[in-house]
Amino acid sequence: MDNDRVDHIIDKHQCEPSSLIQVLLEIQSENKWLPKEALERVSERLQVPFTRIQHIATFYKAFSLVPKGRHGIHICMGTACHVRGATRVLDTVESLTGIKPGETDLNMNFSLETVNCLGCCALGPVMEIDGKTHGKMSPAQTADVLKNYE
């Protein structure tokens, strides 16, 4: 992400240090991660210490300091999903993508995360890809859904 784009996002928030989290969220949304160079530019422009920005970026799970894949996969491991077979869905995703939770595949196609709840317990087990919810998943359905994102 170039400095001009980072500057545009910062300018949209009138260079207000109180807008730090919103600025980081917008950079994350566009870039899928927070490059060190972008964080340094935010620090400089908002006059917020770089260490504070790093603290915030590592505290919130929404932020990533490493590149993410084009498609974000979230598997719900909450109680309702767990008892309905979420571990089998997770095992299938791991097997098909070759990655474990917290990892991104070498082709930068998929990033995998587990979450405690996606808020749709009646649909368990649930898998979310790029914000789209897929409910009542079986291992076979999981494979079919993943094929649509390759």
Residue 88's pLDDT band (boundaries 50, 70, 90)? Answer: very high
Q: What is the pLDDT of residue 14?
A: 93
CATH 1.10.10 range(s) for the chain read 3-59
**For residue 15, pLDDT beyond 90:** yes
The model's pLDDT over 33-77, given as tens digits with 9 standing for 90+, comes to: 999 999 999 999 999 999 999 999 999 878 999 899 999 999 999
Q: What is the pLDDT of residue 32?
A: 86
Please give the CATH architecture assigned to the domain spanning 3-59.
Orthogonal Bundle (1.10)
Q: How far is CA 20 from CA 13, 33, 134, in A?
A: 9, 15, 33
Secondary structure of the chain in HEC code, one letter for each residue: CCHHHHHHHHHHCCCCHHHHHHHHHHHHHHHCCCCHHHHHHHHHHHCCCHHHHHHHHHHCCCCCCCCCCCEEEEEECCHHHHHCCHHHHHHHHHHHHCCCCCCECCCCCEEEEEECCCCCHHHCCCEEECCEEECCCCHHHHHHHHHCCC
- Residue range 71-147, CATH number: 3.40.30.10
Q: What is the pLDDT of residue 142?
A: 96
Q: What percentage of the chain carries pLDDT values higher than 70?
A: 100
Query: How is residue 86 written in tokens?
Result: 């979420």
Q: Mean of the per-residue pLDDT values for the chain?
A: 94
- pTM of the entire predicted model: 0.77
CATH 3.40.30.10 range(s) for the chain read 71-147
